Structure 1
Amino acid sequence: MSFSEIIVTGHRNPDTDAVCSAVCYADFKSQIDPAHIYKGVVCGVLNPQTKFVFEKAGVAPPEFLKDVYTRVIDVARRDGLTLDENEPILEAIREVDSKMVSVIPVFHTKNNFLGVIGIHEIASYFIKTNVEQKKQSYTFFIDNLERVLPGRFLKKGKTKEFKAPIMIGSMDYEKSIERMDSLLEDRPVLVVGDRKRIIAHAVRNQFPLIVITNVVQTPVIDADLDAYEGTIYLSGSDTTDTIRGLWLSAPVKHIMNIDPLVLQHDDLFDEAKKVLLASDLRGLPVLEDGRFLGVVTRGSFLEKPRRKLILIDHNEVAQSIAGADEAEICEIIDHHRLGAEKTNAPIYVFSKPLGSSCTIVYQHYRMHGLNIEKSRAILLLSGILSDTLAFKSPTATLEDRIAADDLAKIAGLDWNHYFQEMLATMTTLGQLDPLATVTGDFKIYREFGLATGIAQVETVSLEEVPLVQDRFLAALEQVRSEQGLDWMMLLVTDVVKEDSLLIMTPFEKAEENLIYQKKTGQLYDLPGVVSRKKQLLPEILRVMEELKKETR
C-alpha cells in the first residue's frame, strides 16, 4: 500500500458499524478531496453479518490490512541502477563514481537477480589483480573491448569469453618468441605494438586475443588470418592504458557478490536499519521470495516515513490497527468515549454521542450536500441497525433514526424487514469457536491501574450459554494471560429479547463490587443490557475505580 494513500480504518476485531463507516467515509473523503487517495480497510476478520451486508450492497469487502508498520520495501529504491551480468567492470566503476551509489544489482535477465557489485567488490578485484603471481589468468569478454578501449576490431573470433594470462610483447624478437612458446599451453592474450613477426607468430599459434596498441593506421598482418580463429583488436591507447582497459573489460558477473546479505521486503524499518548499520556495507538488496524489488542504502534510513491514518469508530491507538502508534493520525471520527492520545499537530476530530459511526458519516455527506449512492446507503443503514440493534439499544438517538429513515428510502428497503435479514445471519453461541469469538469484537480498557478486556458477541438465543460457558471461560482465560490483563469478560447479547449474559474470568475483589447477579460459576445475568459502551463499561469502570480506592 502506497504512502500516498490515506487509510481509513475501524478498530481491531471489527463489527459491521466499523467496517461500513470506514468504507463510506473513504468514499466521502475522496469526493471532497480528490487531490488525495483515501482507502477504507479492515484490520480483522469480517463476521458473517458484515459479509452479508456487503453482498447485499453489491460492494466488494474492503482490503484486509494486517498493520501499518513502515517496512523496508517502503524506503527501497526501485528505479535505481542495474547492470547486466556481462557489463564490463569499468561500467560498474563509472556508475559507482558518477552516481555516488553504494551497491548495484546485477541481473542475468531483467527479472533474474544474480548478485551485487559495489565498492567492496571492485576494491577486492584490484587487490587480487595486483597480487604477485607467476601466472595469473584474467577473464576476457570480447564484446566488451570496444566499451573499454578506444579502437576497433580487425578480426572477431568465435570465442566470446575465455580466461587467459596477459603477455606484453615488449622484449626483443628472440626473447619474445621464447616467452610466447613457453606460454603456448595457456594461450595468453598478447598485447604488443605493431611488431609484425611477433604478431604473425601469435596468429600462427592461435592466441585467443591479440591487442595491437598505439594504432593509427590499420597494420598489415603477415599471416593467414583466414585460418586464425582468435580476435585481433586495434587499440588507440598505449600499452599501459590498454592493459588497464583489458583488466576492466571482464564481466561484472565474475567479481560480483553472489551471496550478499539481503533484506526481505517485509522486514520492519527499524530492524532493517539495525542490520545494515551493523554491517560494513553501504547498501543492501531487497528481495521477495528471491525476486529483486530494490535497494536500500544508509541514506534510506535517515528519515522514517509514516503512513497516514483516519481512525473511525474508535479513537484510541491501542484499539486500532497494529502500527497505528507509529502512523500519522489525520482525523478521528467516533461516537465512543474519548481516550485519544496526543498528536503532534492539530487534527480534525468529530465525536458525537450517537448510536453509530455510520450516522456520523451520513451526516458528513449531508453537511457537504453530497448524494449518497444506493450501495453506500445500504452499508450506512446496515451499520446503524447493527450498532443500535434497530434502535433498541440505549445508545440509539433520534439522529440515528432520522439517518436510517433517509438511508432506507435511498436504498429502497424497509429497515425493519432488512434488520430481520441481518439477524438471520447470526448463530447461537454453541455454534461459534470460543477463541475466535472472544477475540472478535474485543476491546481493552486500561484505567485506574488495571487492564480489562471486554468482548461482545450478538446472538439470537441465550439458552445454550450455561452449557458452553466453560469452553468460553477457558478461551477468556487464555486471552487474559496472553494479553497480560487483570480481567477478561464476554458479553453475550440476545438481540431479539434485548438481554445479555456475562462470562468473566475470576477476579474476586472486583466481582464483590458488581451490581449484577451471578447465575452459575462465572456467569452473570444482565437483563436489559445490550450495550457494552453505554451500559456495561460504566459499571466495570466504577468497579475498577473502587478497587483503586481500596488499595490506597
Structure 2
Amino acid sequence: MSVLIFGHRNPDSDSCISATALAYLKQLQGVDAIACRLGEINTETAFIYDHFKVEPPVLLDDVKTQVMDVTYDRFPPKSPHDCVYDVFDVMEKEHMRTMAITQDDGKLIGIVTVQDIAMAMISGDIYRLHTSADHLCHVLNAQPVHLAKDEFQGQIRVVAYYHDNEKLREVLTPEYVIIVGDRFDVIEMAIDQQVELILVTGSHQIPEELIQKAKTHGVSLISCGLDTYTTAKRVSQCNYIDEIMTRTDLKSFVETAYLDVVIEEIKTTNYSNYPIVDKDYRYLGLISRRNILGSRGKPVILVDHNEAAQSAPGIEQAEILEIYDHHKIGDVATNQPIHFRNLPVGSTSTIIYLVFKEQNRLIPPDIGGLLFSGIISDTLFLSSPTTTEIDVKALGELEDYLGLNASEFAKEMFTAGTALGDSTIDELFYRDYKLFEVAGKQLGIAQIYTLDIEAIQRLEPEIHRFLKEMNRQTGQFLTMLVVTDIYAKGSYIYYVTKSQSVINQTFDRDVSQGSFIEGVVSRKKQIVPRMMMVISQNS
C-alpha cells in the first residue's frame, strides 16, 4: 500500500514542498511514497513548482479507511458453468464458506455458500439435471459412448429396478435422463423413446447394435465407472453451479467504499462473506468480519502540521508512521511509537533538508530548488521571528549549491505569490487558513502576504462582511484575517470576536479593524501562542 505524505489543509508552499521532497527521499529508500496536498495550491506555490519544473503533489480528499485498504481474501471466482461438485471441492480444500460466480468479463453475477449447496442436496430439486457431458464424465468417472449433444437438461430417473416394461414405457419420455445398469432391454426401450440421456452404470460393455441404434435415434450414451447407487447420489452434483447460486439481492461493496459505511451495512445482515467489486462491478475478492477486525488504516506521514483539525479528514482512522514539523505539539494521536521530528526552526523544508544531509543523500537540483523556495517562503526570506541560524545556514548552502541569488529569487517569488489578481475574498481567506482550539474555544485564523496593501484596503468592506458571516456560520470565538506586508514587516488585522479584550491583550495595544501591527509577521510564533495564553488566563 502506498504511503501518503501530506501537509496541512489550505496548503502553503512549505507544506507542499516538504511533502514532495520527503516523498522523493522515501522513494530512494524503496518506499512507495506519494506526495499529496489537502487543497488547491496558491499562486506562490504554483510559481515555485513551475519554475523548477516539478509536478505539484496530488490532491487528496481524505484518508478515511476504504475497503481497498483492507487485506481481504482474493479467492478466484468460478464460472456459472462450473459444476456443483467442483465448486464444493475447491471450497472444502480452501476452507471457504462463500464462492463468487462471475461472467467471462469478470463481472459478478452471483454467489454460492456451503449452506446453499447443502440445502440444494437435501431439499432442492435433486431430480433436475442441467449440465455438460464433460462434467458428467468427470464427476461420474465416465466415458462417452455416443454424444448427440454436449449439454443435457432434463429430469433424472433411476430405472435399474423397474421390472414392469409397460410401466417403464410410461416414464421413458424425451425429457428424462435415465440411470440404468446392464439391462440392455431397458436401454433399447429408452433409445426407442428418444430420452435425453442414458447413463449406463458399472462400466458394462454396451452391445454395438445398441450403440448404432442410439446414433440413429440421436440419443446420447455415457458409460459410468461407478455403480448405480453412487451414480444416482452424485449425478445432481454435476449440475451447473448457476442452478443453485444466489442471483438477486446480492450484498456487495465497491473497493472505494469507506469501511465505516461497510461496517454499518454488515450489522444489518448475517452473511459470512461479502463480494468486493470495482467501479465496473468486476469481482475482486471477498471480505469478512475477520478481515475488518484485523484491518489497518492508510499509512501516512504528516509534514508541517500535527493537529487533527489541520489534517486530512479521517486522520483518526489512518496509520500515522512519521511526523516532520516545526509547530507546537498538537493533538494527533497514534497507537504506537513513531518517528516524530519536531524542531523549532523557521520551516519544515529546513528539517527535510537536514534529513537529506544526515542520510548523505544527493539532492537533485529540482528538489533542492523546492527546498530553497520553501525556506524563503516560510521564513519570509529570513525575516520572520521564527527564523533560526539553522534556517540561515541551510538557505546559504542551497543558494551556493544551486547557483541562485536568494535575494533576487525571493523578490520574484513574493511578487508572483502575493498578486491578488481576480481572487475573491473567499479565495484569499482560504489560501492559508488554520483552526486552533484553546479552553474549549475555536479560533479560525487566516494569513495572506501581499505587496499591494492598497488593494486590500479597497476590499475592507467585503472583508468585514465575509468575516462576520463566517463567524456567524461557524460559531467561532474568533475569526481573523492577518494581512502581512512583507516589506513593511508588519500585519494588518481584521477580525470578528466575542471578546475585544482578548485582541487588545494579544497585541498589547488597543486594536481596531485594519490596525497595522508593526513587527508582527508570524501567526505561528507571534499571534497564536500569545492569544492562547490570554484566553487560558481569562478562562
Report if TM-score (shorter chain) is over 0.5.
yes
In structure 2, what is the equivalent of residue 27 of structure 1?
A: 24
Q: 8 Å contact 1:87–1:252 — kept in the other structure?
A: yes
Tell me if structure 2 keeps the 8 A contact 1:8–1:39.
yes
Displacement after TM superposition at 1:517 (Å) = 5.1
User: Map of 1:376-391 to 2, 5 A cutoff?
Assistant: 376-391=367-382
1:161 CA displacement: 4.6
- Distance in structure 2 (CA, Å) of the matches to 1:159 and 1:456: 76
The answer to whether the aligner puts 1:205 opposite 2:200 as a matched pair is no
The range that moved more, 114-123 or 500-509, is 500-509
Q: Would you say 1:85 and 2:80 are equivalent positions?
A: yes
List per-residue Cα deviations over 1:328-384 (Å, max 9, x = no partner): 333322211222555444433332222111112112222333322111110101101
Q: Give the direction of change, closer, same or farther, for the CA distance of 1:140–1:383 in structure 2 (3 Å limit).
A: same
Distance 1:189 1:400, change over 3 A: same
- Is 2:9 the partner of 1:8? no
In structure 2, the CA distance between the partners of 1:165 and 1:368, relative to structure 1 (3 Å rule), is closer
Is the CA contact 2:47–2:417 (under 8 Å) kept in the aligned structure 1? no
- Quick one: structure 1 residues 415 and 230, their matched pair in 2 at CA, closer, same or farther if it must change by over 3 Å? farther
Q: In the alignment, which residue of structure 2 is the partner of 1:166?
A: 156
Structure 2: gaps of 5 or more residues? none
* Matching of residue 278 in structure 1 with residue 273 in structure 2: no
8 Å contact from structure 1 (residues 435, 476) kept in 2: no
1:190 Cα offset (Å): 1.4
1:66 aligns with 2:61: yes
Q: Quote the residue 2:485 is aligned against.
A: 494
1:477 Cα offset (Å): 5.1
The secondary structure found in structure 2 opposite 1:379 is: helix
How far has the Cα of 1:483 moved from its partner? 5.2
How far is 1:63 from its partner?
2.6
The equivalent residue for 1:264 is 254
Q: Find the aligned partners of 1:324 and 1:219 in 2 and give their Cα distance.
A: 77
Contact 1:393-1:531 within 8 A present in 2 as well: yes
Secondary structure of 1:330's counterpart equals strand
Asked if the contact 2:9–2:310 (Cα under 8 Å) also holds between the matched residues in 1, the reply is yes
* Residues 236-268 of structure 1, C-alpha deviations (whole Å, 9 max, x = no match): 122232223221111112222223111121222
Q: Call closer, same or farther: CA 1:53–1:225 in 2, change over 3 Å.
A: same
CA change 1:344–1:175 in 2 (3 A) is same
Maintained 8 Å contact 2:128/2:236: no
Give the letter aligned to residue 241 of structure 1: T
CA drift of 1:110 comes to 4.7
Q: Please say which of residues 63-72 and 336-345 is displaced more in the overlay.
A: 336-345
CA distance in structure 1 between the partners assigned to 2:199 and 2:464 by the alignment: 85
CA distance in 2, matches of 1:424, 1:124: 76
Matched, 1:367 2:358: yes
In the other structure, the counterpart of 2:231 is 242
* 1:122 corresponds to: 117
Structure 1 segment 208-227 matched on structure 2, within 5 A = 208-222=196-210, 224-227=213-216
Instruction: Give the TM-score normalised by the residue count of structure 1.
Output: 0.88
Provide, for residues 99-154 of structure 1, a one-character-per-residue CA deviation record: whole Å limited to 9, x for no partner: 111211111215232221112432442344258xxxx6432333321232111111
Supply the distance in 1 between the matched residues of 2:193 and 2:71 (Cα, whole angstroms): 52
TM-score (normalised: structure 2) = 0.90
Q: 1:517 to 1:429 in 2, by over 3 A?
A: farther
Q: Secondary structure of the residue that 1:420 maps to in structure 2?
A: helix
Distance 1:161 1:475 in 2: 75
Match 1:155 to one of 146, 151, 164? 146
Q: How many residues align?
A: 533
**CA RMSD after TM alignment:** 2.7
Q: Greater shift after overlay, 153-162 or 400-409? A: 153-162
Gaps of 5+ in 1: none
Displacement of 1:465 after TM fit? 2.7
1:445-504 deviations in Å (ceiling 9; x for gaps) = 111221111122223312233443454455445655665532222222233433322332
* Residues 377, 411 of structure 1: 8 Å contact kept: yes
Q: Given the superposition, is the C-alpha separation of residues 78 and 472 from structure 1 closer, same or farther in structure 2, using an over 3 Å criterion?
A: farther
Q: Residue type of the partner of 2:45?
A: T
Q: 1:102 corresponds to which letter in structure 2? A: R
Query: Post-superposition shift, 1:296?
Result: 0.3
2:199 and 2:167 mapped to 1: Cα distance? Answer: 15
1:25-64 matched pairs, under 5 angstroms: 25-31=22-28, 33-34=29-30, 36-64=31-59
Distance 1:321 1:69 in 2: 9
Q: What is residue 229 of structure 1 aligned with on the other side?
A: 218
